[in-house]
A and B are shown apart, each in its own frame.
Chain A
Amino acid sequence: METILFYILAALIIFFAIASVSSRKILRAVIFLLFVLISVSGIYFMIDYSFLGAVQLAVYGGGVIVLIIFSVLLVHHVELELEVTPLRKKLIAGVVSFVGLGITLWSIYTYPFKTASVDRTIEVKDIGMKLLSYGDGGFMLPFEVISVLLLAVMIGAIVVAKGKKLKG
């Protein structure tokens, strides 16, 4: 059952990702990207890491996609179609991607991974304890750095998007 579910999710992810990078209507491309992100959160739910699945749904499905849709509506006409990429450029990019994918898959399949046999659910409690511990292997410092980064980005986005200063 889980195997079938994983293959369905994988097929959805790949199909919608290809649709998202090749669709010529920009709003449709954004919606396909939303489907990809939701399917990825399904994979997180399947490995019993439900906290990350929820974060993925909330941040990507609720935040990033809405932001992108707003900016599309601000700068484009809804019916606008993107320019057609020259075939030569598409061919070169396709060949480069396929060669890279081939090399990556080859190195993955020749490496003997030692899979651990125990199965463990990642609890929210463990995540919280780890994020706020300052002992060995704790993540207190990166956590604080990320919060400063988010503050800086908030101020920066306001300053950049406001544009030129009005006099007076």
Chain B
Amino acid sequence: MIEGISIYEVLTLSSILFFIGVYGFFTRENLITILMSIELILNAAAINFVLINTYLYPDFLQGAIFTIFIIAMAAAETALAIAIIINLYKLVSSIEVKDTQVMKY
């Protein structure tokens, strides 16, 4: 744990980061920036997992290992989303949310 920092301050930081991500998710109108907001949200969740593990249950490792899984999922999701975005750009020449009304046909 971090010396002189209680768990409340850490959880405050991660919830602020989470809701900044939610704000970005609501306001952005471009697929890539929406993806970046999702990265912020996932990072807030990862901070929560690790810090609750170290502050409350230091004898276990579950939270620490789940964070590795979260990072793997985030990387996989980003790769797939970028592939979809590039394919969509080839189809409709735009990645604004309002222009993407078709999926395949």
Contact = CB atoms under 8 A, between A and B. Distances in A.
Interface string B25-67: 0111110110111011001001100110011111101101101
B81 to A, nearest CB: 9
Contacts of B2: 2-3, 6, 46-47
A29 B76 CA distance: 21
B24 A21 contact: yes
23 contacts: A2-B4, A21-B24, A21-B27, A21-B36, A26-B30, A36-B43, A40-B47, A55-B68, A55-B71, A74-B89, A82-B30, A96-B26, A97-B23, A97-B26, A98-B19, A108-B11, A108-B12, A108-B15, A114-B56, A120-B58, A146-B69, A146-B73, A153-B77
Interface residues of A, number: 80
Given A10-B13, A64-B39, A68-B82, A122 B22 contact: no
A113 B7 contact: yes
Interface of B: 1-9, 11-13, 15-24, 26-30, 32-33, 35-37, 39-40, 43, 46-47, 50-51, 54-59, 61-62, 64-65, 67-69, 71-80, 82-87, 89-90, 95-96
B28 A115 contact: no
A59 B79 CA distance: 12
